[in-house]
Amino acid sequence: MRFNSLNEWLAWQETLHPSAIELGLDRARSVLQRMGLEHPPFPVVTVAGTNGKGSSVAMLETILRSAGYRTGVYTSPHLLRYTERIRIYTEEIDAGNLCSAFERVDQARGETSLTYFEFGTLAAIDIFAGSRLDVAIMEVGMGGRLDAVNLLDADIALVTSIGIDHAEWLGDTREKIAFEKAGIFRPARPAICGDPDPPQTLIDHAAAIGAPLYRLGHEFGYQVEGSSWSWWSQARRRTALPHPALRGAFQLQNAAAVLMVLELLDDFLPLSQQDVREGLTTVSLPGRFQVLPGLPLRIFDVAHNPHGAQVLAQTLGSQPCAGKTHAVMAMLADKDIAGVVAAMREMVDVWHAAGLSVGRGASAARVVETLQAAGVPAPIHAYNDVATAYAQVVASAQPADRIVVFGSFYTVAEAMRQEV
């Protein structure tokens, strides 16, 4: 084995390719073919989208596991540990098994240079191939068409939502980004869109390649009915469903698309109504409007683009706070910081701007400058790092206050470490 620990493997992978991000499938596909893993012996569900991917993957996994099916899940990025990215039967992968998979990828690649994400994706596929799965659920890292997850042909492809993010890679309009995400669709295989208003480019691409398209509000939909909700498709109706344990009204939109995926899997992996109910009520996902126990109320949310921030603001607005809302905000410099501020400005009583000590991290001064340029009326405090900001806010906040930590996976991870 080239290295003795997972951290050594990961540090080396970060230096293997000259660019941290280089979209394209040719390099990784050549390695996948050498490993003989192009055609897995289980159905593959691929999930793309600007927001809602993680929630949708978690619901798919939990409902299928409630029925006893053997699931494999690949997600990114992680919060605290790289091993969070790969789950077998809902269990996080063991570091030793992951290192063994890295070794197999390394042997197969020869002189082929792989990015950090490509290396990890190939390792996940290798692990799944040896795990006797009933189904693999793969979350796209960025876009879809040229993302390494798209190496595998999706038996069912889901696009959750379409907003502006990663514009330098995917394009600066919803139309361009929708086309990239629709790249996970395959001819004659179901394509599902949970965005209620998808750009025409997504619809046109599905038609051009002959992928049957199922759209929210057209081929399937949902309706709130008091404390429960119902779901319908052209072939089935499910009633008296519990709301997902994940918070936010938008989760019904995600859940409806998830149920459409499961409906199309029904010939292979049938589910009872109880399986669906149990999965919806037990699903959990760290960092997505995650509410910690105790007072003051602490909420962690990885919202890092304007659309995600709008959803966060909507959820906060639906849950009034008796005290003040403190925002601990830190972001990557290449994100739309101004757009996130605009989405959240009416929800925040006190801003706590922090810097991120990662390569792409924005300084606290940059965040403060953006807040001031936006003319936010609330007080602004600056801190060098999230840990300091979070610790000081927790210590000074009143029991009736709430603290919202958001802006990046890195932001939430730094605050989480203070709670461990």
CB 280 within 8 A of CB 255: yes
Q: Which of 331, 346, 339 is nearest to 306 (CA)?
A: 339
Kindly state the helix (H) or strand (E) to which residue 26 belongs, with its residue range. helix 26-35
Q: What is the mean pLDDT of the chain?
A: 95
Quote the pLDDT of residue 143: 87
List, in sequence order, the alpha helices (H) in 266-408: 273-282, 306-317, 337-344, 364-374, 386-396
Rounded to an integer, what distance in angstroms lies between the CA atom of residue 388 and that of residue 292?
Answer: 19
CB 6 within 8 A of CB 82: yes
**3-state SS assignment for residue 352:** strand
Quote the pLDDT of residue 253: 96
Cα 268 to Cα 43, 242, 327, 335, 415: the distances in Å are 9, 25, 46, 41, 42
- Domains present along the chain, CATH in parentheses: 6-282 (3.40.1190.10), 290-419 (3.90.190.20)
Quote the pLDDT of residue 236: 95
Quote the pLDDT of residue 109: 96
Quote the pLDDT of residue 1: 64
Give the DSSP letter of residue 48.
E
**3-state SS assignment for residue 153:** coil
Rounded to an integer, what distance in angstroms lies between the CA atom of residue 20 and that of residue 115?
Answer: 6
CB 122 within 8 A of CB 148: yes
Residue 296: asked if its preceding bond is cis (omega within 30°), the reply is yes
CB 134 within 8 A of CB 48: no
Concatenate the DSSP letters of all residues of 84-124 into one string. Answer: GGEEETTEEPPHHHHHHHHHHHHHHHTT----HHHHHHHHH
pLDDT-flagged residues of the chain (< 50): none
- Strands 220-225 and 325-329 turn out to be unpaired
Quote the pLDDT of residue 167: 66
Quote the pLDDT of residue 169: 65
pTM: 0.95
Q: Please give the backbone phi and psi of residue 218, each rounded to the nearest 5 degrees, phi first.
A: -120, -75
